[in-house]
Amino acid sequence: MADAVNHPTHYNTHPVCEAIDVCEWLSFNLGNAVKYLWRAGQKDDRNQDLQKALWYLRREQLSFTTLRVPSAVKQLMRIISENEEGDQLLRAVMQHLYFMADLDRADTGEALTQVILIVKGVVR
User: Within a domain: residue 51?
Assistant: yes
Q: Which domain holds residue 40?
A: 19-120
User: Within a domain: residue 8?
Assistant: no
Q: How far is CA 76 from CA 69, 70, 71, 73, in A?
A: 11, 10, 9, 5
Tens-level pLDDT at each residue, the chain (124 residues): 467 666 666 556 666 678 788 888 888 888 898 888 888 888 878 889 889 989 988 888 877 666 677 777 777 788 788 877 667 888 888 887 877 776 655 566 677 777 888 887 877 6
User: Within a domain: residue 3?
Assistant: no
User: Within a domain: residue 14?
Assistant: no
User: Within a domain: residue 12?
Assistant: no
Contact present, 34 and 22 (Cβ < 8 Å): yes
75 residue type, one letter = Q
User: Within a domain: residue 4?
Assistant: no
Q: What is the pLDDT of residue 1?
A: 46
User: Within a domain: residue 113?
Assistant: yes
Provide the number of structural domains found in the chain: 1
The model carries a pTM of 0.68
Question: What is the Cα–Cα distance from 50 to 11, expressed in whole angstroms?
Answer: 15
